[in-house]
Structure 1
Amino acid sequence: MHLSLRQLTTFREVMRSGSISQAARSVGRTQPAVSTMIRTLEDQLGFALFMRMQGKLTPTPEAHFFLEECEDILGRVERTERTLSRISTLQSGKLKIASHPAASSVFLPRLLTRFLQDRDDLELSLIMRSSDVIEDLIASQQYDVGFAETPAPRASIAQVDYDLECVCVLRADDPLARAPVITPADLDGRPMAVLFDAHNTALQTEAAFRAAGCRFNKRLELRTFLPGLQFVAAGACTMVCDLITAYSHLLQAPTDHALAIRRFRPRISNSVSILTPGFATQSLAASAFITDLQMAVDQAARAVETVLDTS
């Protein structure tokens, strides 16, 4: 037995209307075509669905039972069609994102707030993890999108890399803030906030001071740069930090904010990447979000560059 959805839909319309002619108008077919379909359906089922007396259709008890089954089947099909339609317009589905600390507090929440607008049924999971943990979460396909410091290439991860420069953050009333470029010589012996010793930016910063013959005064060691902004604002230190943290400050800072962002030379690199599973097909929601994330990273780089160029 091979029943079609058209047969079930037509039978349901006949039952609802009580008339072959009315059902034909509802399903957009001719009356003879609907009559033929009902007879074919009865032949396939092996029992009568209607008693035909004097041109009037009277449903059999079996027809009422069969209608319940049809309503259940067609209801599931219609719900599935609505769900797929919402997924195709990115209004429904699930999206799991893992972010490193620098982007998780301001940068990504701002972006996701816009992304979720008018997508009320899109479920989102956002977690903050270290970059090495994010790498494993993406490689094992536990998360759809990762935003982290650039890992070594591996087949199980597809990545889009951004080589972003670090910037110097200091109080706006610091005399050094009048200079467009800050160097190790300017910061010789001054208290600094840096990340933990093994972090690439800490290694590069210390190496820059050593190469310039300047004293590197590490007063504060941090796991992320974000709390360092408060220490700088309080006058406890200066800091050479990643671009995403600097941009997050710009997003939140009032017009008369107490911090200045300046270019630092020699250039300290902080490479970040958008990571996706290498052996999995991206969902429509993930693809759309990645497009927005790429645009947001480019916008962040342009915004900070504008501040550096006008300082």
Structure 2
Amino acid sequence: MMTLRQVEVIRAVMITGTIGGAAKLLNVSAPGISRLVKYTERSLGIRFFQRQNGRYFPTSEAHNIFEHINGVYKKVDDLTEIISKIGRGTLSELRIGSVPSISQIMVPRAIERIRRRYPDLHIDINILKIEEAIDYLLLGKGDCVAMSYRLDHPGLDFMPLASGELFCIVPQGHELAGRKQVTAAEIIRYPLIGIDPNDPYGRIMAEIFARNKLSYDITIRARFGTTVCALVKAGLGIAVIDQFTVAHGGYPGVEMLRIVEPTRFDTYIAVKRGASLSLHVEHFIECLRSEMRALEPSRKSPAVAASRGRKK
């Protein structure tokens, strides 16, 4: 029985024809190579080489063995290549879903970090409504979903991502523009643009008024936060929106005003209960959580982060 180390040394001597050449090829000392060759020949009862003028010539028996040794090395090379491809992500696919508010700015920033670590990883991104996340995960269409709302479902597990705040956004030149903060009572004096309050995501936005027992009228309803921002930028009203949609100056042309009343909310990563997460998925969750927590109210002011993003 030959060990892999003995196979490696015998092959190196056959290729180079000298002990010194084999030592350089394997980056070890020549005496160690010589001792291992002699030990292998003695223990197996086979003569691998004939020595002539300091050179090593394979015997006829060694030629037969050499073919099998090369076969072993071919399999090792194949294994090494497979491992390398897995390390680069070539043979894998990351399938992620996200609600629109997180997909606009946060997900691309996390994906940029993923790409640096796994340059060949295939990535599939789906923008989902909250209610679509259930089938997406349970039917195996994706690995995880970034969500701004936690569902009560026996087939899903939820892991915390980060906390966020709501902001009032107004178009440049609006009479509220330039202010640092605004109250809920002041917000409802202007035409409001927003998401249907019956929508799971819309309920987050509506709670600020419900808690303060304020009546309001959404004059224009839109499904996605990016559409809301575009309508506000066009001067058609003001809106209450989450900080992640407009983080890092992602939507120029609107100004963010902190809302006096508490507006903190939580975000989550949803996965299928009992599912085994790949290293790629775990790294994506880690990157997304890091990006979003950098904007948490307790760690950094979102308004400051947004203003810095606009200056870049």
Same fold? TM cut 0.5? yes
What is the CA-CA distance between 1:137 and the residue it aligns to?
A: 4.3
Match of 1:162 in 2: 162
Match of 2:115 in 1: 116
Identity %: 19
CA distance in 1, matches of 2:283, 2:276: 13
Match of 2:37 in 1: 34
Unaligned 5+ segments in structure 2 are: 308-312
CA distance in 2, matches of 1:308, 1:116: 24
TM-score (normalised: structure 1): 0.74
What is the CA-CA distance between 1:25 and the residue it aligns to?
A: 6.8
Give 1:15's aligned amino acid. Answer: M
Give 1:271's aligned amino acid. Answer: D
1:7 counterpart = 2:2: no
Match of 2:288 in 1: 293
What SS does the corresponding residue of 2:116 show, helix, strand or coil? coil
1:198-277 matches, within 5 Å, as 198-203=198-203, 205-206=205-206, 208-209=208-209, 214-247=214-247, 250-253=249-252, 258-276=253-271
Unaligned 5+ segments in structure 1 are: none
Give 2:223's aligned amino acid. Answer: R
The answer (yes or no) to whether the contact 1:232–1:259 under 8 Å persists in 2 is: yes
Compare 27-36 and 209-218 and name the one that shifted more. 209-218
Match of 1:69 in 2: 68
CA distance in 1, matches of 2:211, 2:251: 35
CA distance in 1, matches of 2:104, 2:257: 22
CA distance in 1, matches of 2:47, 2:273: 54
Compare 133-142 and 191-200 and name the one that shifted more. 133-142
- Gap change, CA 1:104 and 1:233, over 3 Å in 2: same
Match of 1:304 in 2: 302
The answer (yes or no) to whether the contact 1:169–1:232 under 8 Å persists in 2 is: yes
Give 1:263's aligned amino acid. Answer: R
- Gap change, CA 1:282 and 1:33, over 3 Å in 2: same
Q: CA RMSD in A?
A: 3.8
- Gap change, CA 1:110 and 1:20, over 3 Å in 2: closer
- Gap change, CA 1:293 and 1:77, over 3 Å in 2: same
Match of 2:103 in 1: 104
TM-score (normalised: structure 2): 0.74
Match of 2:310 in 1: none
What is the CA-CA distance between 1:83 and the residue it aligns to?
A: 5.5
Give 2:228's aligned amino acid. Answer: G
The answer (yes or no) to whether the contact 2:182–2:258 under 8 Å persists in 1 is: yes
User: Aligned pairs, how many?
Assistant: 296
The answer (yes or no) to whether the contact 1:83–1:92 under 8 Å persists in 2 is: no
- Gap change, CA 1:263 and 1:53, over 3 Å in 2: closer
What is the CA-CA distance between 1:79 and the residue it aligns to?
A: 4.8
Give 1:33's aligned amino acid. Answer: L
What SS does the corresponding residue of 1:300 show, helix, strand or coil? coil
1:139-150 matches, within 5 Å, as 143-150=142-149
What is the CA-CA distance between 1:52 and the residue it aligns to?
A: 5.0
- Gap change, CA 1:180 and 1:32, over 3 Å in 2: closer
CA distance in 1, matches of 2:15, 2:80: 22
What is the CA-CA distance between 1:260 and the residue it aligns to?
A: 1.4
What is the CA-CA distance between 1:26 and the residue it aligns to?
A: 5.1
- Gap change, CA 1:117 and 1:16, over 3 Å in 2: same
What SS does the corresponding residue of 2:177 show, helix, strand or coil? helix
What is the CA-CA distance between 1:101 and the residue it aligns to?
A: 1.5
Deviations 1:111-158 (A, max 9, x none): 322442364334433332233443554567664443212323657525
- Gap change, CA 1:275 and 1:59, over 3 Å in 2: farther
